[in-house]
Structure 1
């Protein structure tokens, strides 16, 4: 474990949108806690450009994340590569490196089990569910605890208006995707992820698409349910449908079931590529009122999440709004630093990340039962 309070040296694998718009700027902002000393990306142009911008010496700019991990020379690693992070996280843990892992942790429960064995029960890996560290979420959790805890929740309603990435990222003016990514390496990684999808849910196209939406996006809502009410106890209804016949390949998704305390949950994830702005609403209803969280686009740093508290007052309805411009991603980095330097357990470690993989596979299994899709792999026995 690194000395408590020490500035830690960190390596970043994967320099795509989330690293460029969020992680690297925040690591630089929190120079009191972190020093970026190594970067890797399949594109040598991108590794060179960002290495120069963030002061990483040329010898520590890699095009192979595995080679970067093998060389070492730092205290912790942030994994923001695409696809499953099971193999790279395992390599880092074998090297004794704490990991901040962007979602998904893994595609399969087998990968997560391997990571748990390598960690040996110590806080060694944090899954990047930044919404759990949002001040508005922390306030909602506190208020729910004051009400008597998760068993007081009558229902949770989640609506995600998922606008296209071009609309979510227009403000960032990002450069065009690099053209110097080696085709054979990109094909190798795609083949590896395809094999993992086979192992997770089988070959049915609808099941695979649903699973990827779950582990890449809806997982954030599963993590909030797990934090506030406990993970779903059942998955009873699953439906997918296209926006229109000529719409995007990814469908919209509707899921519902029972919560551990006896209440109900519903998640409606709407794929709306032309919707003007991303919006996510999570509402917890209880006998005395509601707690409503409204999240902005995750790429807008320091944009406040609004928590509206609805309760009774003087025989009528009272609404109070809580906002904080403290950035959830930054709070996540502070918590990761505490994990690395003080052994503080993260809100989502390997076990909790594996629970979200399991819930996602249960959703896919139910989808198969309701639609007749052939579900195989781990999901068939989830």
Structure 2
């Protein structure tokens, strides 16, 4: 079968450090045919290196064609670009968050040619955790799920990468930011700059991947009981979220993300405690390809506590790309499509709504009482 011809929109860090190297590694199933970035000089530099056409306007690139699928890696809301690509009958892989609001996605059907990226869902350690969880009785056996993230600055995580910066002209950036601000104001029902930034950068942009991982393992959290954000004079701040994990009332969850600019290294732990033991994932920074996620399975045999440790160097982003190829060529459904993305946006809005109530910030969040918002 011929390689899937793709175009890449957004040539920032994730494109340079993760996606383009993996697409080059998998020339057997992918062929990059065009690139696009708001910074035309930056796009042309990468286009020359890849020997493909370069654009600074995604619509013009899609109209020119020459490919079957579009990979969207831009900052901010991706809804407009996704709709433009789907309207032109392209298959789409879009990094999360797909959008800031549910209204932006009106008109996209459930069977759209759309896959939303969440590499943690495709990590081999996540697959093994699912298998181990099934062995002990599934979600109903879970007592507690805890997620803890220690997040250094992106700059410190990327010192090794030597990625080149994209520097669009200020006028183009201003247009994009104004459009994002309008969407955020409509989604949250407030002009509070702090609430908009918390939602976009800390909730959707910060723990959105974890919300998608929780949904894969257990479904959308049943409630959001508590949200704390601190310290007040630091951005991005720490955030803590807790609530009931399942609609049945069994199990709770706790989600904590600490943005610590000078912390030595990125660490993320996902711990699932059940009636018979524990399952614990340790994720490393996503910028290091083939860095293994560790799964530790703790159980009891007689009077002995047993720990089994699994590490797999298969790259989660590569597995995600192969899943996208199968989605296009074999119509194998992705782990997250439009319905999953809508569910994650709804969960994020429930979190920001609870925080607004706690902080006394007047807001009318788009996601109202339907679906049992707490």
Query: Normalising by structure 2, what TM-score?
Result: 0.95
Asked whether 1:215 is paired with 2:204, we answer yes
| 1:378 counterpart (360, 366, 369) | 366
| 2:74 counterpart (69, 81, 87) | 81
C-alpha displacement at 1:135, in angstroms?
0.3
8 Å contact from structure 2 (residues 349, 365) kept in 1? no
What does 1:126-275 align with in structure 2 at a 5 Å threshold? 126-175=115-164, 177-179=165-167, 181-201=168-188, 202-212=190-200, 213-242=202-231, 245=233, 248-260=234-246, 261=248, 262-275=250-263
8 Å contact from structure 2 (residues 353, 365) kept in 1? no
8 Å contact from structure 1 (residues 156, 282) kept in 2? yes
C-alpha displacement at 1:183, in angstroms?
1.7
Between stretches 329-338 and 72-81, larger displacement belongs to 72-81
Partner of 1:338: 326
C-alpha displacement at 1:99, in angstroms?
0.5
Between the aligned partners of 1:92 and 1:111, the Cα distance in structure 2 is: 15
Question: Which segments of 5 or more consecutive residues in structure 2 lack a partner in the other structure?
Answer: none
Between the aligned partners of 1:113 and 1:229, the Cα distance in structure 2 is: 26
Give the secondary-structure state (helix, strand or coil) at the position aligned to 1:282. strand
Partner of 2:102: 109
Partner of 1:297: 285
Question: Which segments of 5 or more consecutive residues in structure 1 lack a partner in the other structure?
Answer: none
1:134-192 deviation per Cα after TM superposition (whole angstroms, max 9, x unaligned): 000000011111222111111100000011011110111223x344x222111100100
Asked whether 1:358 is paired with 2:351, we answer no
Give the secondary-structure state (helix, strand or coil) at the position aligned to 1:171. coil
8 Å contact from structure 1 (residues 86, 115) kept in 2? no
1:66-104 deviation per Cα after TM superposition (whole angstroms, max 9, x unaligned): 211222221100000111000010011111111000111
Between the aligned partners of 1:76 and 1:357, the Cα distance in structure 2 is: 24
Asked whether 1:53 is paired with 2:53, we answer no
8 Å contact from structure 1 (residues 6, 341) kept in 2? no
Number of paired residues? Answer: 366
Between the aligned partners of 1:210 and 1:286, the Cα distance in structure 2 is: 32
Give the secondary-structure state (helix, strand or coil) at the position aligned to 1:378. coil
C-alpha displacement at 1:263, in angstroms?
0.6
Which structure 1 residue ranges, 4+ long, deviate > 4 Å from structure 2? Answer: 379-382
Partner of 1:69: 62
Residue 377 and residue 157 in structure 1: after superposition, are their counterparts in 2 closer, same or farther (change >3 A)? Answer: closer
Between the aligned partners of 2:2 and 2:309, the Cα distance in structure 1 is: 37
Between the aligned partners of 2:106 and 2:221, the Cα distance in structure 1 is: 21
Partner of 1:43: 39
Partner of 2:17: 21
Between the aligned partners of 1:82 and 1:140, the Cα distance in structure 2 is: 31
Between the aligned partners of 2:313 and 2:50, the Cα distance in structure 1 is: 25
Between the aligned partners of 1:148 and 1:6, the Cα distance in structure 2 is: 43
Between the aligned partners of 1:257 and 1:134, the Cα distance in structure 2 is: 25
Residue 274 and residue 287 in structure 1: after superposition, are their counterparts in 2 closer, same or farther (change >3 A)? Answer: same
C-alpha displacement at 1:114, in angstroms?
2.6
8 Å contact from structure 2 (residues 203, 352) kept in 1? no
